[in-house]
């Protein structure tokens, strides 16, 4: 049975876009869990089409407007959303919330009811997941999670799209994530579960993934056949895998823990020795920005195995697909080939 979509939000009924036959869509992307396996497949398939045939979609979202509220600094997320929306014919407005939280001046409900009258989609990059869920509950237009303390769904979707490009089928590959059990790890875990792939997550004791995220991923995995393992030994996690992934040891907002974490996570550094545990064809992945010399060495970052810039590029293609599906793009898509 497909994981239940986010159907309870007022004024938002999931629809099957006429331009993407057979896909049951959801009103927001607050969590990867909103998509389910069909939704993830739709995003990855559409991203592939958009990347290979961008001119076909040049006016797909003409007249649509997107507003972005960011409480945290951004390079990749902001520019890939803005460039992606522009390439689809839409327009973007950016609101810098780095000096104060989004709901500091007025309630999320009041903000949402203003925004839904002006624009077509809201993109949020926040500290608290509750800010995003709250906005989605009150706004009658789509809300996209562009990063929170709990999840980073757009990043993980781009990561798995990068793996599709490199390896084809996701069913036969294994990704090892080593480091902090943070928002990126959570979204990788949920995306892996949705596509029926395999993942090993190695974290130090006390820095493991969120219990509810793990439970939800396991529930999805039982339906898709995904394989999920949790370890504390990074070398055991990396043994024979197709991809090795890491992230910063201290996320934004955790800078005061950086020194302590640097000691705890030192054995989780992705270096030549750790990459040697992986399969010869393995790739190195990182969501960026990276702290070179900490969670990863320059030697690995700049190696031929590194696909970090492919990941960064694919953020744009995946986010274009998400925007198209949430906003009902105006291009009729070709059916998936039986030989794809």
pLDDT at 258: 85
Tokens encoding 269: 């550094």
Catalytic residue among 97, 209, 287, 317: 287
For the question of residue 152 being annotated catalytic, the response is: yes
Beta bridge partners of 231: 202
More confident call, 58 vs 7 = 58
Please state, for a pLDDT cut of 90, what percent of the chain lies above it: 86
What are the residue ranges of helices labelled H in the chain?
A: 36-52, 76-87, 108-115, 129-138, 153-167, 183-195, 211-224, 234-238, 258-264, 272-277, 298-301, 308-327
Residue 338 has pLDDT above 80, yes or no: no
Catalytic residue among 180, 315, 317, 319: 315
For the question of residue 209 being annotated catalytic, the response is: no
Average pLDDT over residues 117-123: 98
Average pLDDT over residues 233-246: 98
Tens-place pLDDT, residues 264-301 = 999 999 999 999 999 999 999 999 999 999 999 999 99
Average pLDDT over residues 231-250: 97
HSE-up (13 A, CA, CB side) for residue 100: 5
Residue 25 has pLDDT above 90, yes or no: no
Angle, helices 183-195/153-167, rounded to nearest 10 degrees: 50
More confident call, 99 vs 336 = 99
| Domain 32-151+315-327, CATH among 3.40.50.1370, 2.60.15.10, 3.40.50.150, 3.30.360.10 | 3.40.50.1370
For the question of residue 287 being annotated catalytic, the response is: yes
pLDDT at 251: 78
- CATH 3.40.50.1370 matches 155-312: yes
32-151+315-327 and 155-312, same CATH topology: yes
Q: How many Å apart are CA 214 and CA 216, to the nearest integer? A: 5
Residue 56 has pLDDT above 60, yes or no: yes
Catalytic residue among 152, 186, 200, 286: 152
Catalytic residue among 76, 125, 138, 186: 125
Average pLDDT over residues 9-29: 54
pLDDT-derived band at 2 (thresholds 50, 70, 90) equals very low
Average pLDDT over residues 86-110: 96
pLDDT at 272: 98
Please state, for a pLDDT cut of 70, what percent of the chain lies above it: 89
pLDDT at 120: 97
pLDDT at 1: 34
Catalytic residue among 129, 155, 269, 319: 155
Map out the domains of the chain as residue ranges: 32-151+315-327, 155-312
Residue 150 has pLDDT above 70, yes or no: yes
**Pick from 77-81, 101-105, 251-255: least confident:** 251-255
How far is Cα of residue 141 from the mean position of the Cα atoms in its chain? Answer: 20
For the question of residue 120 being annotated catalytic, the response is: no
Q: Residue 196: which region, alpha, beta or left (left: phi > 0; alpha: psi -120 to 50)?
A: left
Average pLDDT over residues 29-58: 95
pLDDT-derived band at 26 (thresholds 50, 70, 90) equals confident
Catalytic residue among 33, 200, 247, 317: 247
For the question of residue 166 being annotated catalytic, the response is: no
Beta bridge partners of 123: 68, 144
Concatenated DSSP letters for 82-119?
Answer: HHHHHHTT-EEEEEE-TTS-TTSSS-HHHHHHHHTTT-
Average pLDDT over residues 38-66: 95
- Rounded CA Rg of the chain: 19
pTM: 0.90
């Amino acid at each position: 049975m497909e994981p239940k979509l986010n159907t309870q939000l007022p004024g938002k009924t999931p629809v099957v876009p006429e331009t993407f036959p057979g896909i049951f869509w959801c009103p927001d992307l607050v969590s990867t869990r909103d998509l389910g396996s069909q939704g993830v497949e739709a995003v990855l398939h559409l991203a592939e089409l958009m990347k290979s045939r961008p001119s076909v979609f040049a006016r797909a979202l003409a007249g649509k407007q997107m507003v972005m509220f960011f409480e945290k600094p951004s390079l990749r997320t902001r520019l890939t959303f803005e460039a992606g929306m522009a390439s689809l014919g839409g327009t973007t407005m950016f609101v810098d919330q780095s000096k104060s939280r989004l709901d500091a001046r007025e309630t999320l409900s009041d903000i949402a009811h203003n925004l839904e009258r002006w624009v077509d989609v809201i993109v949020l990059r926040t500290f608290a997941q509750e800010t995003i869920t709250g906005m989605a509950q009150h706004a009658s237009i789509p809300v996209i999670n562009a990063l929170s303390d709990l999840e980073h769904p757009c990043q993980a979707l781009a990561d798995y799209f990068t793996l599709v490009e490199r390896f084809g089928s996701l069913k036969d590959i294994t990704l090892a994530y080593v480091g902090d059990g943070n928002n990126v790890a959570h979204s990788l875990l949920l995306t892996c579960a949705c596509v029926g792939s395999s993942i090993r997550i190695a974290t130090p004791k006390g820095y493991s993934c969120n219990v509810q995220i793990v439970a939800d991923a396991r529930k999805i995995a039982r339906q898709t056949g995904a394989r999920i393992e949790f370890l504390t030994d990074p070398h055991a996690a990396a043994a024979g895998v197709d991809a090795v992934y890491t992230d910063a040891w201290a996320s934004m907002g955790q800078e005061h823990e950086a020194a302590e974490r640097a000691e705890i996570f030192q054995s989780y550094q992705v270096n030549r020795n750790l990459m040697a545990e992986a399969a010869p064809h393995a790739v190195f992945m990182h969501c960026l920005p990276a702290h070179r010399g900490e969670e990863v060495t320059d030697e690995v970052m700049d190696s031929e195995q590194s696909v970090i810039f492919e990941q960064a590029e694919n953020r744009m293609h995946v986010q274009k697909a998400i925007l198209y599906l949430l906003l009902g793009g105006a291009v009729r898509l070709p059916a998936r080939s039986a030989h794809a």
